[in-house]
């Protein structure tokens, strides 16, 4: 019997691999597989948080499969956690966006949804948040679920007494069905997901990643521009510490003929790991110090604030970086008429208030889209497609 017919839960994936996905070995020769090709891997994505015996003897070759079937109603979601942008491929993104559009209809409806009735979501936020925390809580309630929340968990939880993150997660999972966590340390979300037996969503881990922000950003670009292939995007501001731009770069790399411009003060330039990833995946990128010139060529200007909280006591470095790149009326004058300005918010002075009335200012529409994406993710992680 071929592997194709033996394992109906197998999915074709490149970056779409949970850290806890079942491993592959080299016991079988490639002729046991249907139409193998070398550029991707076959991974089993059954929910690793259920009790599963290890599967032996699977060689990493890809199969040509109808992956769209995996996204039909009633199927389990392919991911057990949402931790980083690298987990998603473009086909899954398209399917998630379809669900998000259904969530838009639910949000506009006057009737109360009961899709997540009986489910409890715990939000653990060790760093400040307005949009992310409130949109997750709103998403859960709009789908009929309930919320357990702690704001500023770094100070007002047992973490202040020295409790480890692992112990906190083991405790909270006993009270809830899903955990949404923001943490000040990069990698904390992976640690939480490795500990928990329920789904964990990374709502931002220090300067690491913010995958749900990237999902809503790409959803917004598609909604505003009408396409994701063949676009030019300027990432502006604090690129060294900004987790949103890191996750967004990972997702933009899934699409064809994308060009990314990095515009930032020297001290907060995009880190080499992102640039290396883009190069490896054939994405054209360029660093520039001239925002005016770049903005005139781009479909999207994605502005970010310089993050004072990441500079520690070196406020001299913060002051040197802030205020260098501003989106104002003068910049609007050189932008294309169908381009958009985006920002993950909050903003300080990096976008002037008089820009808000321009139809190209998409950042508040972008924030609203976060509700639909997070409704979709909660639905998918808890009840599936």
The catalytic residue positions are 131-132, 161, 182, 210
* Distance of alpha carbon 210 from alpha carbon 268, whole angstroms: 18
Pairing type for strands 41-44 and 300-303 reads unpaired
For 42, phi and psi rounded to 5 degrees?
-100, 125
Q: How many CA atoms lie within 13 A of 218 on its CB side?
A: 33
DSSP state of 82: B
Q: What angle do CA 18, 87, 210 make, to 5 degrees?
A: 115
* Distance of alpha carbon 285 from alpha carbon 259, whole angstroms: 6
- Strands ordered across the beta sheet of 146-150: 146-150, 120-125, 178-183, 200-205
Contacts of 289 (CB under 8 A, 6+ apart): 263
Q: What share of the chain is helix, strand, coil (3-state, %, to 5)?
A: 40, 15, 45
Residues in the chain: 385
Q: Dmax of the chain from CA atoms?
A: 67
Contact 58, 21 (CB under 8 A): no
């Amino acid at each position: 019997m071929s592997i194709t017919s033996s394992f109906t839960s197998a999915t074709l994936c490149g970056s779409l691999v949970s850290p806890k996905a079942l491993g592959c070995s080299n016991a079988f020769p490639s002729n046991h597989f249907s139409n193998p090709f070398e550029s991707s891997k076959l991974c089993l994505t059954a929910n690793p948080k259920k009790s599963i015996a290890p599967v032996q003897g699977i060689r990493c070759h890809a199969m040509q499969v109808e992956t769209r079937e995996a996204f039909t109603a009633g199927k389990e979601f392919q991911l057990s956690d949402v931790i980083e942008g690298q987990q998603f491929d473009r086909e899954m993104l398209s399917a998630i966006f379809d669900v998000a559009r259904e969530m838009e209809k639910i949000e506009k409806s006057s009737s109360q949804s009961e899709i997540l009735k009986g489910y409890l979501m715990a939000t653990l936020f060790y760093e400040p948040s307005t949009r992310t925390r409130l949109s997750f809580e709103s998403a859960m309630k709009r789908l009929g679920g309930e919320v357990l929340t702690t704001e500023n968990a770094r100070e007002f939880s047992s973490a202040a007494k020295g409790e480890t993150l692992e112990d906190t997660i083991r405790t909270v999972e006993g009270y809830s069905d899903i955990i949404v966590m923001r943490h000040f340390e990069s990698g904390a979300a992976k640690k939480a997901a490795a500990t928990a037996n329920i789904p964990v969503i990374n709502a931002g881990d220090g300067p690491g990643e913010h995958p749900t922000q990237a999902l809503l950003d790409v959803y917004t670009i598609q909604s505003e521009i009408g396409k994701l292939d063949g676009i030019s995007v300027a990432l502006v501001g604090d690129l060294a510490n900004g987790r949103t731009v890191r996750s967004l770069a990972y997702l933009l790399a899934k699409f064809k003929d994308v060009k990314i411009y990095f515009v930032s003060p020297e001290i907060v330039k995009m880190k080499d790991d992102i640039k290396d990833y883009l190069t490896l995946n054939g994405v054209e990128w360029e660093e520039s110090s001239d925002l005016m010139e770049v903005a005139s060529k781009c479909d999207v200007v994605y502005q970010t604030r310089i993050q004072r909280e990441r500079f520690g006591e070196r406020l001299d470095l913060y002051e040197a970086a802030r205020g260098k790149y501003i989106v104002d009326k003068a910049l609007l004058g050189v932008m294309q008429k169908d381009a958009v300005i985006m920002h993950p918010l909050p903003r300080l002075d990096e976008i002037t208030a008089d820009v808000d009335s321009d139809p190209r200012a998409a950042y508040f529409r972008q924030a609203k889209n976060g509700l639909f994406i997070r409704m979709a993710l909660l639905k998918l992680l808890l009840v599936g497609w």
